[in-house]
Amino acid sequence: MLETISLHGKRRLRLTPNRSASWQDTKWLMLIFAVVVFTIAIGWAVVGVWVILPFAGIEVVLLIFIMYQVSRSTYRWETLDIEPHTIHFCTRHRTLSFTRPSAHIIFTESENDWHLPIVTLVDGEQRIVLGEFLNLEDRALLKETLDNEGIMVCRNHWWKT
C-alpha cells in the first residue's frame, strides 16, 4: 500500500504491505486451529491412539510460529521523504540519504512479466530496492508517483506502455 503525505515543502511516501488480517484476527485464527487440532487429537487419544498427542502439539506449535512470522512481516514499512535536494529512505533498521539531482529510479521488468518489477532507487554512490513487499499495482503506482515528483525513471523495457 502506498500513502502520500505532503509536509512543509516535502513529500513523504509510506510503503506498507497489504494486510488482510490484523494481529487480533490472526490470534483468533490460531486459537481456532489449536482447538480443532487438540479436539481431534484428544478424540484419538480416548480411543487408545495416544501417540498422536505429541504430533498434534508439534503441529500446533509450528502453525502458530508460521502464522506469527507471516503476521509480523505484514507490519514492515518503508518511508521516502522527498525534499528539494535530498531523498531520505527509512525503515525500522536502516536510514539512507540520496542526493536528489543525481538520484533516479531503475524500474526493472522481467522478459515475460512472470515476475514482479523491481523498483530501485540509485544515485552515484548507493542503491536500494524499494517496496519488495508491494504487489504489482502498488509498484506501478510507486513508479508513477516518483516520476510525478520529478525523479527520473529508467525502464529496461522502455518500449512498453
Per-residue pLDDT reduced to its tens digit, 127-143: 999 999 999 999 999 99
Q: Is the pLDDT of residue 161 over 70?
A: no
Chain segment 42-101, per-residue pLDDT in tens? 999 999 999 999 999 999 999 999 999 999 988 899 999 999 899 999 999 899 999 988
Nearest to 72 by CA among 34, 23, 25, 31: 23
Residues in the chain: 161
Q: CA neighbours within 13 Å on the CB side: how many for 25?
A: 7
pTM of structure: 0.78
Contacts of 36 (CB under 8 A, 6+ apart): none
Domain span including residue 110: 2-17+76-155
On whether both 80 and 6 belong to a single domain, the answer is yes
pLDDT of residue 113: 73
User: What CATH number should be reported for the domain holding residue 137?
Assistant: 2.30.29
Domain-located, residue 160: no
Mean pLDDT score of the chain = 91
